[in-house]
Amino acid sequence: GAGVSQSPSNKVTEKGKDVELRCDPISGHTALYWYRQSLGQGLEFLIYFQGNSAPDKSGLPSDRFSAERTGGSVSTLTIQRTQQEDSAVYLCASSYSRGDNEQFFGPGTRLTVL
Amino acid sequence: QKEVEQNSGPLSVPEGAIASLNCTYSDRGSQSFFWYRQYSGKSPELIMFIYSNGDKEDGRFTAQLNKASQYVSLLIRDSQPSDSATYLCVVLGGGADGLTFGKGTHLIIQP
């Protein structure tokens, strides 16, 4: 596709359920980033992939959060046993390489945990 | 912990004036600096990046970097109502870290 895509665009779930968020980066982009943006807050870095490996997992807020990337393309962010404080917009971005100038952002997934 | 500080605003500027957005960062080893614009409910989009000390101009936008003072700014000349958005200052560290985003400055251009 022409840009970064994410699915679903909206997800409403009950506290304690697991959710999976998907990111499809721009073809050929080796670097992929996940961010979280809570209401009225700045962007919070979660995790970064270079190819299929994640050299930096420092931003994951707890062990309920995990992410994987297969085939150097699609990435999935999984949140287990969701909590209300997990409610946020989860943004994915990709760039040609980590040192590249620009990250291209997807439209985000709005997660609401009831 | 690496930090990027911005005044949250709102910063109100009359149409046609110069809007000045400021940002300071804590990691002296930072190498790359970006300004992203985010309209309400939308994803961020890159406006400018700067690597070297001094000024970099692109149309109505000028980015300024002073590494000694750990300060980066964005000037918007001839401000337009369409410039009203949140502007995010973003810093790329020298290690394996991802980007560090400031919380953003909410800019309002008054017609």
Q: How near does any CA of chain B get to the CA of A81, in Å?
A: 26
Q: pLDDT digits over B37-95, tens only?
A: 999 888 899 999 998 999 999 999 999 999 999 999 999 999 999 999 999 999 887 55
Distance CA B89, CA B5 (A): 8
Name the residue with tokens 């700067």: B50
> What's the whole-number mean pLDDT along residues B5-32?
93
Both tokens of B71, joined, read: 């300060």
Local structure of residue A103 (DSSP, 8 states): P
Most confident listed range (A27-36, A95-104, B38-47, B72-81): B72-81
Reported as a pLDDT band with limits 50, 70 and 90, residue B14 is very high
Reported as a pLDDT band with limits 50, 70 and 90, residue B2 is confident
Dihedral class, residue A51 (left if φ above 0, else alpha if ψ from -120 to 50, else beta) = left
* Pairwise CB contact (< 8 Å): B100 & A45: yes
Burial of A13 (0-12, 13-18, 19+ CB in 10 A): middle
Q: How many CA atoms lie within 13 A of B42 on its CB side?
A: 14
* Pairwise CB contact (< 8 Å): A45 & B98: yes
What residues of B are in contact with residue A59 (Cβ under 8 Å)? 98
Interface test with A, best of B43, B56, B101, B105 (most A CBs within 10 A): B43
Could you tell me if A22 and A71 are in contact, meaning their C-beta atoms sit under 8 angstroms apart?
A: no
What residues of A are in contact with residue B92 (Cβ under 8 Å)? 99
Could you tell me if A76 and A24 are in contact, meaning their C-beta atoms sit under 8 angstroms apart?
A: no
Distance CA B19, CA B107 (A): 8
Distance CA A63, CA A86 (A): 13
Q: pLDDT digits over A47-77, tens only?
A: 989 888 887 787 899 999 999 998 889 999 9
A51 touches chain B (CB under 8 A): no
B 65-104: CB under 8 A from A: 88, 92, 96-104
* Pairwise CB contact (< 8 Å): A35 & B101: yes
Nearest to B47 by CA among B14, B11, B85, B17: B85
Strand, coil or helix: B81: helix
Reported as a pLDDT band with limits 50, 70 and 90, residue A112 is very high
Which pairing describes strands A65-69 and A53-56: parallel, antiparallel, or unpaired? unpaired
* Pairwise CB contact (< 8 Å): A105 & B44: yes
Could you tell me if A113 and A13 are in contact, meaning their C-beta atoms sit under 8 angstroms apart?
A: yes
